[in-house]
Amino acid sequence: MRLKDKVCLVTGGAAGIGKATALRFAQEGAKVVICDVNQEAGDAMLKDLGPDSSFYKINVADRAEVQAWIDDVVAKYGRVDVLINNAGVTRDALFVKVKEGQLVKQMEESAFDFVVDVNLKGVFNCAQAVAPVMIKQGGGVIVNASSVVGLYGNMGQTNYVATKAGVIGMTKVWARELGRFNIRVNAVAPGFIATEMVQKMPENVLNDMKAKTPLGRLGDPVDIANTYVWLASDEAAYVHGTTISVDGGIVLGT
């Protein structure tokens, strides 16, 4: 019960890594508050999270929605102990695609903007909304979801990589700025994780992911959730401003 009675927020908490994280936090005794854009999935999660849990339908890219969410959480629970900035999206495409010397396709501006709005601005919005609350109460924990591709790059993911590299940068800045208020800020960089979305990929793509991972398997969402639990707990009391890779030793090539 490492998180007993702590108020823990998980964005994108209705599926994938977010869902696994919310469930693990509940197992550790936390009062879990999840947000997601999927109303049906969010409502279904409440059955497994216990009576002190809450679900809010929130678009993290919408600053007003995020602020209203945090205000309501504080009114209901009185504090925010942990924020897991997990919500994220992908819209993959090659930066430019050329055939016989001619441009035939490129990543659309709308795809770039959408991913940046959710993955980068969304992290900014949520962290900036909870920071004053944590300062006032004397401390807290913020954990941001990055990715191994934010460290190494990846084909067809200019937008996604930009956001995940940006999250690492913001994590370092916030660690410098917020440490004096007893707010610990860290990031986690997952490798290839067997979420519902990933498991629907073609078998040859999944096999390629496994081949690039020395442990020979995809990660389980719980592998990331366990890392979030540790970072949120007092066991990680002196871990600050770092990015932890949870990737099975992955090696990304060209």
d(CA 191, CA 214): 11
Q: Note if 160 is an active site residue.
A: yes
Q: Collapsing DSSP states into helix, strand and coil, what is residue 22?
A: helix
On the 0-12 / 13-18 / 19+ scale of CB atoms within 10 A, 28 is middle
- Which entry of 56, 77, 160, 238 is annotated as an active-site residue? 160
Q: Which residues of 101-112 are buried (b: 16+ CB within 10 A; e: fewer)?
A: eeeeeebeeebb
CA angle at 225 for the pair 2 and 132, rounded to the nearest 5°: 70
Q: Collapsing DSSP states into helix, strand and coil, what is residue 134?
A: helix
Catalytic site positions: 160
